């Protein structure tokens, strides 16, 4: 099938870039909300979690309003930087990153909150700077939960459909990801092609979920207790 490999490679590229973005933003906001106390903290947590429960088509509409050529942000990006996110693979990355963001943010926050604060305080007493404390103490203790969230986000980004279709469209070889290619194949009555695409997408997502399950902090603790 001609559309199989381009759609697969594009989906992997979109999922990888979306996961990298969420590694920075999701871990950063997870750490902020786990450690900081400020007014509106719960409201911010709710807003950051919304993409998990909001219909992807609604998120896609919001993105169109936000970064479309007629919006102030989309117009500024186009006129100043020459960037057009609509009907581009970069737009697909943006849509996938937003949809998958809570799957990194929530596990990261939970992982940071589970770190023993006494260990961090002991490091401070020894004169460790806050930056070194994060990379040498907090992050190593929380990495399993963060990595599990990143794997879930990667699988979610691989299968993203609604928001991606609205923002990036379905241009073969340019914005047509695996999930969109499946939709197009079913609409065209190409059952064999749809079956191939479904099997590939399912295999990648199952592998990511199995790895995420193996890295879950709760499972690790149960295995250690069983020994």
Closest CA to 146 of 220, 222, 221, 215: 215
* pLDDT tens digits for range 103-116: 999 999 999 999 98
Sorted by where each begins, the domain ranges of the chain are 4-218
Q: Rounded to an integer, what distance in angstroms lies between the CA atom of residue 167 and that of residue 103? A: 21
Kindly compute the dihedral angle of the four CA atoms of residues 16, 197, 99, 114, in this order, to the nearest 10 degrees. -60
Return mean pLDDT, the chain: 87
pLDDT of 216 > 90? The answer is no
Torsion-angle region of 87 (φ positive above 0: left; ψ -120 to 50: alpha; else: beta): left
* List of residues 6+ apart from 200 with CB closer than 8 A: 4, 8, 178
Q: What are the structure tokens assigned to 69, written together? A: 């050529």
Question: Topology of domain 4-218, per CATH?
Answer: MetI-like fold (1.10.3720)
pLDDT at 2: 62
pLDDT of 48 > 90? The answer is yes
* pLDDT tens digits for range 108-157: 999 999 998 888 889 888 888 888 899 999 999 999 889 989 988 998 99
Region of poorest pLDDT, from 11-25, 50-64, 199-213: 199-213
pLDDT of 222 > 90? The answer is no
The one-character DSSP state at 189 is: T
* pLDDT tens digits for range 8-31: 899 999 999 999 999 999 999 999
Which phi and psi angles does 172 have, rounded to 5°? -55, 130
Question: Is residue 116 helix, strand or coil?
Answer: coil
């Amino acid at each position: 099938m001609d559309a199989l490999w381009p759609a697969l490679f594009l989906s992997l590229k979109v999922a990888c870039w979306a996961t990298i973005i969420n590694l920075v933003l999701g871990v950063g906001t997870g750490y902020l909300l786990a450690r900081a106390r400020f007014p509106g903290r719960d409201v911010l947590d709710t807003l950051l979690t919304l993409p998990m429960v909001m219909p992807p088509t609604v998120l896609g509409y919001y993105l169109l309003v936000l970064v479309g050529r007629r919006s102030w942000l989309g117009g500024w990006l186009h006129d100043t930087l020459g960037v057009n996110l609509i009907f581009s693979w970069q737009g697909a990355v943006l849509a996938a990153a937003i949809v998958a963001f809570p799957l990194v943010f929530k596990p990261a926050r939970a992982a940071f909150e589970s770190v023993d604060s006494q260990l961090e305080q002991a490091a401070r007493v020894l004169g460790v700077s806050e930056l070194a404390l994060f990379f040498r103490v907090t992050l190593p203790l929380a990495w399993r939960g963060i990595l599990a969230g990143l794997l879930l986000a990667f699988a979610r980004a691989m299968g993203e459909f609604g928001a991606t279709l609205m923002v990036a469209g379905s241009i073969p070889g340019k914005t047509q990801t695996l999930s969109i290619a499946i939709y197009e194949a079913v609409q065209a009555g190409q059952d064999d092609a749809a079956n191939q695409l479904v099997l590939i997408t399912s295999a990648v997502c199952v592998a990511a979920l199995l790895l995420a399950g193996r890295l879950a902090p709760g499972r690790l603790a149960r295995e250690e207790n069983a020994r």
